[in-house]
């Protein structure tokens, strides 16, 4: 410990009070520790405030991309492409003509179908007209049957008379009262009456069969027209349905834009023969683009449908902010729908945090002000305590 000297009034030197050389550094260290503790406390309070007001409220990801319900233009009829009225990047409106297929075959098919409608209508009118004719035939066959019954009665009477006459003459022939010629004539008359009776009976059977056939034809005709008119008959309805299908096929030779959007992936050329279902081109509805944001599963605890979302794109940068809201959460992570499942039988397994796609709708006004294409990168931030979330609950 050092001693300090001081000068007195009379000039003599007197020893000063001793000073501890370690006191100053110790005090300085205490001040530094106190300052450090204050900084830590302030930092902790700042982080707690940040987490309460911001960190626990917002979740964000840059694993997000724009998407849309792309309309694929495919033909419903086969034919040769006559015109292509759109090219890639072209803006089209709903109803605009995109592709025209040669309609020659469709027009011929329509003409044939219309002819079949006329034929079916005439055929049904014939059924209706035949109904009266067949009813008259049934009545005529019934009259024939009655006439044949009368003829049988007459032939039976002739037969009975001839039989009696023959027996009488045969009895008298033994006594010689009648000649052999008279007996022969009686036998001839008997045979003729018998033949006439059998013919009458056969004619009666024929008349009965003809009446049954007429009744069958009438019943069959009634089945064709029962409870129907020309307009409601099944044959006419079938023919008209085929005609309407032919008309639709003719209309389908002209392919129109189903939505407003931008033409993309054009794969059709003039002169190409196309078949039903072939993809010709696509229309991207840029006015209804949404975002598929792939959030980590640990971020989704408080995410609900209807919550507000702020979006920025790599195209415009942070200077343009899109407003949106959560529309829904996917039914499973991407790995769940992968062609090759993540599970395997080797036992080599590493847990990886999964991502779940969240669909975010973008305000149409923002899309009109700043159009954006499909497949572009976005950054999405969800406010998990917004008013929309409360209303959604």
Q: What confidence score (pLDDT) does residue 87 get?
A: 94
Query: Which residue bears the tokens 């020659």?
Result: 104
Residue 221 lies in a domain: yes
Query: Which residue bears the tokens 């592709």?
Result: 99
Half-sphere exposure of 285 (CA within 13 A, CB side): 17
CA 302 to chain centre: 35
Cα separation, 145 vs 143, whole angstroms? 5
Secondary structure (DSSP) of 304-368: -TT-EEEEEETTTEEEEEEEEEEEEE-SS-GGGG-SS-S--SS--------EEEEEEEEPHHHHH
- Read off φ and ψ for residue 264, nearest 5 degrees: -145, 160
Whether 221 and 90 map to the same domain: the answer is: no
Contact by Cβ (8 Å): 373, 314: no
Q: Which of 263, 278, 293 is the last residue of a domain?
A: 278
Length of the chain: 393
Q: How many domains, in total, are found in the chain? A: 3
Cα separation, 70 vs 76, whole angstroms? 18
Whether 317 and 199 map to the same domain: the answer is: no
Q: Which of 247, 270, 302 is the last residue of a domain?
A: 247
Question: What pTM was estimated for this model as a whole?
Answer: 0.64
Whether 304 and 332 map to the same domain: the answer is: yes
Q: Where are the alpha helices (DSSP H) in 177-285?
A: 180-225, 234-251
Query: Which residue bears the tokens 């900084």?
Result: 39
Instruction: Quote the domain boundaries for residue 268.
Output: 72-103+253-278
Whether 85 and 142 map to the same domain: the answer is: no
Tell me whether residue 324 is exposed, middle or buried, using C-beta atoms within 10 angstroms of its C-beta: 0 to 12, 13 to 18, 19 or more. buried
- Kind of pairing between the strands at 281-284 and 317-329: unpaired
Whether 114 and 80 map to the same domain: the answer is: no
Residue 10 lies in a domain: no
Tell me whether residue 289 is exposed, middle or buried, using C-beta atoms within 10 angstroms of its C-beta: 0 to 12, 13 to 18, 19 or more. buried
Integer angstrom CA distances of residue 291 from 44, 68, 265, 324, 386 = 36, 8, 21, 9, 19
Q: Which residue(s) pair with 380 in the sheet?
A: 61, 311
Cα separation, 240 vs 238, whole angstroms? 5
Residue 1 lies in a domain: no
Whether 121 and 240 map to the same domain: the answer is: yes
Residue 379 lies in a domain: yes
Whether 273 and 301 map to the same domain: the answer is: no
Contact by Cβ (8 Å): 306, 389: yes
Render each residue's pLDDT in the chain as its tens digit; 393 residues.
444 444 444 555 555 555 455 666 777 777 777 787 788 878 877 766 666 666 567 899 999 999 999 999 999 999 999 999 999 999 999 999 999 999 999 999 999 999 999 999 988 887 777 776 767 777 777 777 787 787 788 878 877 787 887 777 766 666 666 666 776 777 788 788 788 878 878 877 887 777 777 777 767 767 767 777 878 888 899 999 999 999 999 999 999 999 999 999 999 999 999 999 999 999 999 889 999 999 999 988 889 999 999 999 999 998 999 999 999 999 888 777 777 766 656 666 677 888 999 999 999 999 999 999 899 999 999 998 865 444 443
Residue 37 lies in a domain: no
User: What CATH number is associated with residue 271?
Assistant: 2.40.50.100
Query: Which residue bears the tokens 């990047």?
Result: 89
Residue 318 lies in a domain: yes
Q: Which of 278, 295, 323 is the last residue of a domain?
A: 278
Whether 62 and 132 map to the same domain: the answer is: no
Q: What confidence score (pLDDT) does residue 322 get?
A: 95
Whether 110 and 243 map to the same domain: the answer is: yes
Q: Which residue(s) pair with 310 in the sheet?
A: 323, 381
Whether 117 and 243 map to the same domain: the answer is: yes
Closest to 64 (Cα-Cα) out of 278, 298, 326, 335: 326
- Kind of pairing between the strands at 308-313 and 377-383: antiparallel
Cα separation, 101 vs 116, whole angstroms? 25
């Amino acid at each position: 410990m050092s001693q300090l000297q001081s000068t007195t009034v009379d000039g003599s030197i007197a020893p000063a009070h001793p000073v501890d050389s370690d006191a100053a550094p110790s005090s300085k260290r205490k001040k530094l520790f106190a300052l450090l503790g204050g900084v830590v406390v302030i930092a902790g309070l700042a982080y707690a405030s940040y987490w309460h007001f911001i960190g626990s409220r917002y979740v964000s990801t840059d694993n997000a991309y724009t998407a849309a319900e792309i309309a694929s233009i495919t033909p419903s009829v086969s034919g040769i492409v006559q015109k292509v009225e759109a090219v890639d990047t072209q803006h089209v409106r709903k109803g605009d003509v995109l592709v025209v297929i040669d309609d020659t075959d469709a027009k011929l098919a329509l003409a044939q179908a219309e002819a079949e409608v006329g034929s079916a209508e005439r055929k049904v009118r014939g059924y209706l007209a035949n109904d009266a004719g067949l009813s008259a035939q049934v009545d005529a066959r019934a009259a024939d049957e009655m006439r044949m019954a009368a003829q049988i009665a007459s032939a039976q009477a002739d037969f009975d008379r001839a039989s009696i006459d023959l027996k009488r003459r045969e009895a008298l022939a033994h006594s010689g009262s009648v000649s052999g010629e008279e007996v022969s004539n009686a036998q001839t008359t008997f045979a003729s009456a018998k033949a006439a009776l059998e013919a009458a009976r056969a004619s009666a059977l024929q008349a009965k069969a003809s009446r049954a056939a007429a009744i069958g034809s009438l019943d069959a005709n009634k089945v064709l027209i029962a409870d129907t008119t020309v307009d409601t008959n099944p044959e006419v309805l079938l023919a008209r349905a085929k005609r309407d299908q032919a008309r639709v096929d003719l209309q389908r030779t002209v392919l129109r834009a189903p939505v407003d959007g931008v033409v993309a992936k054009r794969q059709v050329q003039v002169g190409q023969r196309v078949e039903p279902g072939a993809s010709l081109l696509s229309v991207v509805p840029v006015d209804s683009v949404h975002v598929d944001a792939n959030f980590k599963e640990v971020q989704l605890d408080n995410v609900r449908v209807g919550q507000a979302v702020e979006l920025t794109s790599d195209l415009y940068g942070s200077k343009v902010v899109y407003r949106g809201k959560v529309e829904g959460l996917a039914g499973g992570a991407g790995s769940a729908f992968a062609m090759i499942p993540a599970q395997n039988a080797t036992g080599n397994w590493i847990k990886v945090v999964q991502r779940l796609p969240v669909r975010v709708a973008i305000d149409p006004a923002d899309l009109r002000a700043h159009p954006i294409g499909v497949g572009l990168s976005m950054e999405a931030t969800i406010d998990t305590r917004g008013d929309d979330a409360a209303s959604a609950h």
